[in-house]
Structure 1
């Protein structure tokens, strides 16, 4: 049967008209037809109020998140002009709210109307109105109160106008993003708070009031000194240089045949090893992807600092030069720029693409940095020393990553390459157990005692590295540790900011249901057990969080009564057992694992019915981490205090023979 298709002819071509231009294709304007698009309607309306305030008309903007998911933006500007426009032969309210690409900012290259405007594309109010379930507008200007009502992109009732005694001008716009247009309009409170805080940062002295009807809360945002106050807040007292603030402005062109426009830039930065942040704003819009400012910053900081390092002869012989990531690791920076003509990547305004903005900012930053490094020799010394530390740490981490990848990557079975590893038969991950045992003798005893169906064995040859003190490069050169990682199969979790790419941990790749650490009940055994736990805690802490790690308790004493043998796992338990024994008995300290007979090993250590397993469950992660640091880390003073305070409790466990 031949499928019938509709003719494709001249009548097949149609165009969207009126509100349908937005309602049927919201992602073209707002970047998304989901929640992100609904969020952007708010930013479009807010942008117009910010432009008014920045021109000196009103220093306060109120935003209300209503309980019914509608939004209000209230400003104290001059009020939107909505009366009849003779030049256009239409009412301004029609142009502003019902006509895409209409507004008061198009003839603005030299900055006569709005010198530096956030909303330039003439889309915001109209596109938001078109995409709303309803929009109510109230404007006070020229001694009159004006009101407009829109429903699903259509005006209802025309323009309402009356005389008013209100002296304060301004605009109030209330709307609800339409669920016929967007798949979601439940904009979270956190989004409004983030946007308003960012706008307060880059519009110094402008007060934003946020009211959330749902939680009945009100918050205010204001930064009297703009980005300088923000950097001071972010960097706290952890910076190792002072905050520096520079600004400049100029005029130029993107191309010789293009019109000239103005650019204004301010930059604040400091260096900090604990807090790192780089943010770009242009005409108050937060540039998530940066664009021209980002390229300028990366180029200027890298070039100037590299040049200074060379002048100071700080590079080692044949050492590669720094990259921006080495600077970024210790940099806190905010760039706040404006221009009278702006080319955004798209309507969502997450990046700007102007060539002159990039060129102007690159030159501006290089000049300021050059002078700063010369005039602040002590700061400059600290900066370049830290950046070189960052660089060498990054390079070392990359070398470690490659070595680890090489050690763990092979088409053959990794576990088959581990010396003396003894696998079990079952492939059922819900049953498989791995016993990490102490030495070859314990391996031999456990091999005879285990259930080979589900119990595998991995011997530890000697004492492993303390992974809380060693760096990654040294850790991953340890054959024992690499073998343990191979056998466990789940990869490693890396905390280093230089080594995100070799964070390979995947819990689903763990080869075992239980990881059991089984060592002798003596000082050496306790130390080996602690070092293995430290390795797991340092390299794969999720195994502890998920309850996959256990300690197999081994008995301290054997009590033989002739007919049977009893086992005590502590001195207290020994005392209690002896009180129940009748007749003659012999008491002896339990042998090491390697000396125990298979039947005893199975009974006391490996049989699921009679063994004692202690699940490692750090109920308080911070406390656990602190104890690891005190006992095994670099906190020597903390370890000394701990021993002085609690050491007497462990005297009877010392092996002083």
Structure 2
């Protein structure tokens, strides 16, 4: 087999500079180079204006979308400082618009500029400027009007400054997202309405004006909630809720770890119970937490703990009845949580979940106390709530089979990108082209994400070693989050043949969303074990995918051989020997290949993801049978067979065994 090579030497390494840091890798900052990323870039600008208003500067924000998809955000805050900065020996506009990780939220010399900030990383304005075809800024402060212009990440004309009689301060930013950066910039009106409404909900008394330019003029909508989340919960439930709306608020101080700094948390929750509506929304520093994180975990724990305790104390459970779950509470709960903190740990730049340990602890304690007091002071409402929760629980248990069948029918239409954590989808909807890479861990996810062709290659990481599906009971298998996430992403359901679990079988090959399912792990012992565990899972739960040739293994090179002007990759010892023979007397260096997460994107693309140069092994039923037979021998119940195998073959592996 010919070895394909590509020059990979010291001159192959380069770094992105200036605007290219965003323009060439927008998904790193915005989460996507498509419409979702473009929408996030808009939200970064809106966030800055919201932070100003929350600090008490300005009570109105105007958002305009023009016919050509250019956008404008105007606020009436203090106006961003853009003049000369003596301490930094640079103009502030250079720092704010052209410097990553710069801004007022880092300045702690004279106290914090923003106590509770939606934008913390100093990336948003600069990154959006870099990703724009043009950006124009008009700023009013200190009796002056300042104007700045940028084109494709470069400043045009410097800072223009002139005196003004205008009394109101503030900033107006107008820009057009660049189609050279984003594949789609046509943000729909519904997105603006949804995002702005959410911000009005969690920023009480702040007026948002949305202006949409049409061929006939401007369509204008206003959003304001004078009582914030309380008004919103009333709007959601209408006049026939099961209980009245409760509003609970508290402030706490604490730390995520003993050696970490103390910070302040402000907690606000509005809720009621309803047998017609159920919804839970979580916000932190006014950012909508699509994946929840710490606040959602706290709500789950607190409500189940307190309601279960109350049901036991009041004797509402039937004899030997199982405990309620959060699903039973959730079915009749309308809850909006809005928290703020001076220190925030977001899961990533897109701010869809937070992970603060102290926020979870503070909110759990706060909610448990409030629920306990609420039930004591309102026994009639407590009885109604518990009765409804028990109805939900018993209905769920009695109708489990029906619910499963309903889920099967709906599985193909749900948005898996929003349901599966860290899943990275591709753009094409053509299943004859789509490929899903099942990779080993978050570091490999990052490397593959940068290396892939996002048009047709998607990625889902396996977080650690998955459950051994060889002998595990189905109930245990389907409680494993990694396995259920993979099954959701595949889209075809599972094949379950056990008599007691036939109702779980939901396999439909027409629902498969992929042309290739590619297992991609490191070329080491751990990687091989994870590969075998994934293969075992597919073999047991979706054997038809193997039988019909949808499952592949991506070979990773074992060795990287660098000669003077070329880099060679050897996938076996035999290939290594052959390459060394070809090199003859030439000087070369040889090393074991790095793990997937350590590879440069260009190398990952060349060796693992490029259809023209990668090596894929199609998993056949025969190959799967042999793999599973070996796996069962080594990890199954046949002790005597395993002992005999080790006695006969163990000497082959003594050199690599860890006997220390």
Give the TM-score of the pair, scaled to structure 1: 0.61
In 2: Cα distance, 1:195 partner to 1:402 partner: 33
Contact 2:61 2:209 in 1 (8 A): yes
In 1: Cα distance, 2:352 partner to 2:61 partner: 23
Counterparts of residues 601-640 of structure 1 (less than 5 Å): none
1:128 is matched with which residue?
Answer: 128
The structure number with the bigger radius of gyration is 1
Counterpart of 2:317 in 1: which secondary structure? coil
The alignment covers a number of residue pairs equal to 415
* Residue 250 (structure 1) shift: 1.1
1:379 is matched with which residue?
Answer: 381
Given the alignment of the two structures, is residue 297 of structure 1 paired with residue 315 of structure 2, yes or no? Answer: no
Given the alignment of the two structures, is residue 89 of structure 1 paired with residue 89 of structure 2, yes or no? Answer: yes
Counterpart of 1:306 in 2: which secondary structure? helix
1:144 is matched with which residue?
Answer: 144
Counterpart of 1:315 in 2: which secondary structure? coil
In 2: Cα distance, 1:111 partner to 1:379 partner: 45
Taking a change above 3 Å as real, the CA distance of residues 378 and 67 of structure 1, as seen in their structure-2 partners, is same
2:202 is matched with which residue?
Answer: 202
Give the TM-score of the pair, scaled to structure 2: 0.61
1:260 is matched with which residue?
Answer: 262
Contact 2:293 2:353 in 1 (8 A): yes
1:40 is matched with which residue?
Answer: 40
1:15 is matched with which residue?
Answer: 15
2:600 is matched with which residue?
Answer: none
In 1: Cα distance, 2:220 partner to 2:157 partner: 34
Contact 1:238 1:273 in 2 (8 A): no
2:166 is matched with which residue?
Answer: 166
Counterparts of residues 93-492 of structure 1 (less than 5 Å): 93-107=93-107, 112-214=112-214, 216-398=218-400
* Residue 398 (structure 1) shift: 1.2
Counterpart of 1:33 in 2: which secondary structure? coil
Any unmatched runs of 5+ in structure 1?
A: 406-500, 510-657
In 1: Cα distance, 2:403 partner to 2:146 partner: 66
In 1: Cα distance, 2:406 partner to 2:165 partner: 76
Contact 1:322 1:391 in 2 (8 A): yes
Counterpart of 1:308 in 2: which secondary structure? helix
Greater RCO (CA < 8 Å, at least 6 residues apart)? 2
Taking a change above 3 Å as real, the CA distance of residues 344 and 403 of structure 1, as seen in their structure-2 partners, is closer
* Residue 264 (structure 1) shift: 0.3
In 2: Cα distance, 1:280 partner to 1:232 partner: 16
In 2: Cα distance, 1:39 partner to 1:332 partner: 28
In 2: Cα distance, 1:403 partner to 1:234 partner: 29
* Residue 188 (structure 1) shift: 0.2
* Residue 13 (structure 1) shift: 1.5
1:593 is matched with which residue?
Answer: none
Contact 2:105 2:112 in 1 (8 A): no
Counterpart of 2:32 in 1: which secondary structure? coil
* Residue 186 (structure 1) shift: 0.1
* Residue 126 (structure 1) shift: 0.1
Contact 2:71 2:174 in 1 (8 A): yes
Contact 1:345 1:353 in 2 (8 A): yes
Contact 1:280 1:335 in 2 (8 A): yes
How much is the aligned-residue C-alpha RMSD, in angstroms?
A: 2.5
In 1: Cα distance, 2:238 partner to 2:131 partner: 42
Counterpart of 2:344 in 1: which secondary structure? coil
Counterpart of 1:187 in 2: which secondary structure? coil
* Residue 87 (structure 1) shift: 1.2
Per-residue deviation, residues 351-403 of structure 1 (Å, max 9, x unmatched): 00111111111111111001001110000000000000000000001155689
* Residue 155 (structure 1) shift: 0.5
Taking a change above 3 Å as real, the CA distance of residues 178 and 108 of structure 1, as seen in their structure-2 partners, is same
In 1: Cα distance, 2:110 partner to 2:310 partner: 38
Per-residue deviation, residues 542-589 of structure 1 (Å, max 9, x unmatched): xxxxxxxxxxxxxxxxxxxxxxxxxxxxxxxxxxxxxxxxxxxxxxxx
Counterpart of 1:50 in 2: which secondary structure? helix
1:595 is matched with which residue?
Answer: none
Taking a change above 3 Å as real, the CA distance of residues 2 and 16 of structure 1, as seen in their structure-2 partners, is same
Taking a change above 3 Å as real, the CA distance of residues 374 and 124 of structure 1, as seen in their structure-2 partners, is same
Any unmatched runs of 5+ in structure 2?
A: 408-502, 512-660
Counterpart of 1:281 in 2: which secondary structure? strand
